[in-house]
Amino acid sequence: MTTRTTVLQSSTEDECSPFFTSIKSMTKSQRDDLARLGLIRNETSVNILLLRRKHGAYLRRALRLKDTQQLPGSYISLDSSKPWIIYWTLNGLDLLDDLPDEDTLIGIVHTLRACWTYVKREVVDIEDENRAGGFGGGVNQLPHCATTYASVNALSIIAGCDADIYPTATRLALHLLKEKRKALLKWFITLRYKDSMFSRERGNAKKACGYRMHHDGEVDVRATYCICSTASLLGFTDEISDGMMEHIIDCQTFEGGFGGEPFAEAHGGYTFCALGALHILLKAKRLANLEQSGVDLVALEGWLVRRQMSHEGGFNGRCNKLVDGCYTMWVGGAIAILGLNGTDKQFDSGVYSNETDQCGVVRTRDDLIRRDIGHDSEGGLLFDQKLLQRYVFLCAQDVNGGLRDKPSKPRDFYHSCYNLSGLSVSQHIFTSGHNDTGNIVTMYEEEETNVLAPIHPVYSIRVERVRYMVGLFHVDVTH
């Protein structure tokens, strides 16, 4: 039966198909054009390249704090998303090993400081000397969980840089994190929302406790993840964890994925947030695996692996939706986090375990799902990692720099960040010796320049940055 959904899907497949043409079958003129664009090394090459230099140049456009060149006028709609733009671009550059100069990083720290806002005492009833606050989207804007998460991630990236190269920037970023840490905790606590109206019966379990994105804002699993991630990096997970796990479990749907709130449709982004938060909370509550928390793991695994589109190779975010490059991280990262459940290869102290099997691969328990998707992924993840990378290299890259949703869409900072983040997940997670390109899962194995720095799937920043933050606050990575 032909429906609007099948028509759109067919159109998307037709849109992507030309990008999957064999380079060997191209004429010399066509190969010359690819070489001129930088997508292959020369006319005899058959391996697509990651346009590192072009992507780096595109991402740095947003960070030219002293440059007269400004972003296009259309970006005014993102005026309340300054920390997000900083995080998207900075994280992408960090994965590319192409961070900007120290003056730019110092300017970023000052910009984020200007986004900090203390909440009014009449709102939270806190004495002046014990004020609470968070990072807003811009100067004098309302503190918000999402922009606070983006700000702390960006500051963690800068604080964790090489202090010999960036002495002033690392010091300023670290000082800002330490200065605002207690106020953040106080503000997070004021965002708690307890209401049994949406809670399912859980026997003697604690009443589910959600969190608002901001005062008088929506209660959803994004807030729970943003708060969990930030609290974990800054070392105060225990203080905010009561009731969180119960609220997240209530958000799992009959499909298997997680919605933003109880009884909502399962969504790739919300599922990533749910699993990221659950992974942190499992450690905090000393639980061994997701089954102990009440997650329907079989349904969840099945829903996640069905997000990979068989023709395009990328992921969609919901049932009967189109492929989108950002889900390279949202779904790919969720599957990676799920793979941490119950295995011996935890990200202890924020780093990859040195203990590996002979293949350097962690195998999960559900071989049935592997047979269902018809692929035993070389890297141990429950999706075809090379097929996903093919989508990123061929369909998501803009030849002028930056990455996109799909070929018909324009490049942007958001999709650039999450295409690169998911690409790193697909290259590194559950592989041994991640500094040795021979043990990394890559679509074009001969091209070492295609390999990104390893990212932590829970926190969405480089593993080294997580390691630094954990060591700084002397706590376990998820505690």
Q: Which residues are catalytic?
A: 267, 318, 321, 324, 326-327, 405, 412, 415
Give the Cα separation of 132 and 188 in Å (integer): 8
The Cα 328–Cα 293 span in angstroms is 26
| Burial per residue of 284-320, b for 16 or more beta-carbon CB atoms within 10 angstroms, e otherwise | beeeeebeebbbbbebbbbbbbbbbbebbbbbbbbee
The separation between CA 443 and the C-alpha centre of its own chain, rounded to angstroms, equals 21
Distance CA 385, CA 427 (A): 8
How far apart, in whole angstroms, are the C-alpha atoms of residue 42 and residue 25?
A: 15
Answer whether 393's CB lies under 8 Å from 47's CB. no
Distance CA 441, CA 87 (A): 26
φ/ψ of residue 83, rounded to 5: -60, -35
- Indicate the angle between helix axes 463-473 and 221-234, nearest 10 degrees: 60
Whether residue 331 contacts residue 271, with contact meaning beta carbons closer than 8 Å, is answered with yes
Strand partners, 258: 252
Largest CA distance in the chain: 73
Buried b (16+ CB within 10 A) or exposed e, 26-59: beeeebeebbeebbbeebebebbbbbbebbbebb
CA nearest to 424, candidates 459, 398, 399, 395:
459
Say how far apart CA 455 and CA 94 lie, in whole Å.
10
- C-alpha to C-alpha distance for 380 and 367, rounded to whole angstroms: 11
E-assigned strand segments in 1-144: 116-118, 133-135
Q: Is residue 226 within 8 Å of 210, Cβ to Cβ?
A: no
Give, for 352, the enclosing helix (H) or strand (E): none
Rounded (10°) angle between helices 268-284 and 221-234:
40
Range list of β-strands (E), 203-292: 209-211
Distance CA 162, CA 173 (A): 13
Residue in the structure block whose two tokens are 């998207």: 88
